[in-house]
Each structure stands twice: as structure tokens, then as C-alpha cells.
Amino acid sequence: MSQEDFAYFTEENSAEVVISRIENAEDERMKQIMAVIIRHLHAAVKEIEPTHEEWFKAIRFLTATGHKCDDWRQEYILLSDVLGVSMLVDAINSRRPTGSTENTVLGPFHIQGAPEYEMGANICLDGKGEPMLVHGRITDVGGQPLPGAKLDVWQANDDGFYDVQQKSIQPDFNLRGVFRTGADGKYSFWAVRPKHYSIPTDGPVGAMMKKLGRHAYRPAHLHYIVSKPGYETLTTHVFDPHDPYIHSDAVFGVKESLIVEFHRIDDERTAAAAGIDNPFWNVEFDCVLAPAAT
């Protein structure tokens, strides 16, 4: 910057002055990202006109959110989730051709190494909850079945917790399983009817949600990652339309196309053949994979 262009910081030029200092950033992407952040940060402060005390409240909130994070808890991801930022980043990175199944957030509870089962297996290892048969077909956008597609599914148990949240209570890999489609592209497994559950509320994000008059519940859902070489990996959920929180997911994960009917089935014979209790639930969910971006 030449001496002639120089301007001291004022209330009016604040963002421009700060951005002029990052001309020598180590790469163009970093410079671009920081310029956008600085511009919106200054615009927000100018709209809000915080008092010194309000500014310090924000400092304390950000500090407390950092202090809540450890190897087992990521309060900043939770903050990103409840402000819709995680879903927005997911949406931006998951633009798909019409007809392919929509993505939603991965969430913090996926783990690698779940057991691989034969189709029709029961992934519920703790015996709790109402049995649910989940089945469908994996196809390409032209409707052709995809053999050799990998399904990685997981869900919370009937008490509303994932196995990794209750290591000493639930069996390892409870309600997790990996399946591979055959020539017909079909899949099926037994799980349990999911229930809504609360995100963690004992930290600064929970306190913020309370002040904002928001509940902390996620509507009942089942997680999927569906992948096959040559296709975009699909990370998604299936949602129950009758859940009381279906219109107010605390992390904004619901998409209309991911809501499917959960049918209650009274069929002694099928239940007995599968070794589960009657009645049970039946959910059909087909996945359409988009071709991989080239």
C-alpha cells in the first residue's frame, strides 16, 4: 500500500482498513476467506452497536464454548449445528442432480469399523425398543439397481443414546451395521423404531438455546452412508413424519424428501420367522446415487 492510499482506522472505514492489512496472506484462498469474514464481522458489529458489556458477554461465551471442548465433546460443532451452519456447509457441498437422494448432516456419532452383516440381519444388540424392518433399493439416477453398494447405518437406541455415548451400558456397535447390495440393488435389515432425543444442553450452547426460547430435540431418525465407486457418497437420514419435532429439528437436518412413512404392522408369522416381537414397524427407503463429479 502506498503512503498516499494510507488511512487510519475509523468507524466508517474499519473493514477496509483491516482487509488492507492482509494483502500478504500466505495464499489467495486464505486472503479471500478472511476478507469475507472481516467484512461481515464489521457489518454485524455496526448493525448491532454492542455496548462494551455486550461485547464482553460475547467474548465470555466464545471462551466458555472453547473450554467445554475436549476429546469427547465438541461444543463448537454443536454451536455450528444449532445455528444452521453445519447444514448450510453440507448443502453447499452436496448439490446434486434432480432425482438423486438428498444429503444431510453426518452428525458426531458415526464411527468406523461397524460389523458387516448379511441382508436381513438385526443390528439391535440391546433388545430394547419396538422392532423395525428397514428396506429399499439402491439405484442410479436412471433407476438401474446398483450391486456392490455399501450401506453404513446407525441410530440411537430406545433410550435416545448412541452406543458411543453409553460405552459401559450398551453393547459395542449396538444399532450399527454395514451391508452390501447384491445384483438386485436391494437391502433390508432389522433395527428399532427411533425416538427423538436431546442434543447436549449442559454447556454454553444449551444455555444459549434456552435464552433463545428453543428446545434442543432432534426428531427421530436413522443414519445412512451409502457409497459405491463412481458415485457420490450419500450421507443422509430417514425421518419419521409423526415425530413432534419434525418441524423444529434443533440442528435443521430435516429435508422433506427424507421423510418416509413408518408403518405399524401386525403380522405374527413374519415376526416369528424373523425372531422378533409382533407388532413391528416397516420402513421403505430407496436411495438414488448421483454419478461422481469428474
Site for its own copies in 60-99 (CB under 8 A): 62-67, 69, 74, 76-77, 80, 83-93, 95
**Through-space distance between the first and last CA atoms of the chain, rounded to whole angstroms:** 41
Q: Residue holding cell 468406523?
A: 112
User: Smallest gap, in angstroms, from Cβ of residue 184 to its own copies?
Assistant: 32
User: Smallest gap, in angstroms, from Cβ of residue 239 to its own copies?
Assistant: 10
- How far apart CA 123 and CA 292 sit, in angstroms, is 30
CB closer to its own copies out of 47 and 202: 47
Interacting stretch for its own copies, rule CB under 8 A, among 13-21, 128-136, 148-156, 158-166? Answer: 13-21
Q: How many residues are there in the chain?
A: 294
Q: Using DSSP, state whether 70 is helix, strand or coil.
A: strand
Interacting stretch for its own copies, rule CB under 8 A, among 36-44, 120-128, 157-165, 263-271? Answer: 36-44
DSSP 41: H
49 is an interface residue for its own copies by CB under 8 A:
yes
User: Smallest gap, in angstroms, from Cβ of residue 89 to its own copies?
Assistant: 5
256 is an interface residue for its own copies by CB under 8 A:
yes
Position among 4, 28, 47, 263 found at the interface with its own copies (CB under 8 A): 47
* Residue 8: exposure state from Cβ atoms within 10 A (0-12, 13-18, ≥19): exposed
C-alpha cell recorded at residue 212: 433463545
CB 289 within 8 A of CB 146: yes
292 is an interface residue for its own copies by CB under 8 A:
no
State how far Cα 279 lies from the chain centre. Answer: 30
User: Smallest gap, in angstroms, from Cβ of residue 11 to its own copies?
Assistant: 4
Q: Tell me how many residues contact its own copies (CB under 8 A).
A: 74
236 is an interface residue for its own copies by CB under 8 A:
no
260 is an interface residue for its own copies by CB under 8 A:
no
Position among 40, 128, 263, 264 found at the interface with its own copies (CB under 8 A): 40
- How far apart CA 92 and CA 215 sit, in angstroms, is 26
CB 229 within 8 A of CB 197: no
- How far apart CA 86 and CA 89 sit, in angstroms, is 5
Position among 247, 268, 293, 294 found at the interface with its own copies (CB under 8 A): 247
User: Smallest gap, in angstroms, from Cβ of residue 13 to its own copies?
Assistant: 10
214 is an interface residue for its own copies by CB under 8 A:
yes
- How far apart CA 78 and CA 200 sit, in angstroms, is 8
- How far apart CA 21 and CA 215 sit, in angstroms, is 42
Position among 154, 252, 262, 280 found at the interface with its own copies (CB under 8 A): 252
43 is an interface residue for its own copies by CB under 8 A:
yes
272 is an interface residue for its own copies by CB under 8 A:
no
CB 139 within 8 A of CB 146: yes
212 is an interface residue for its own copies by CB under 8 A:
yes
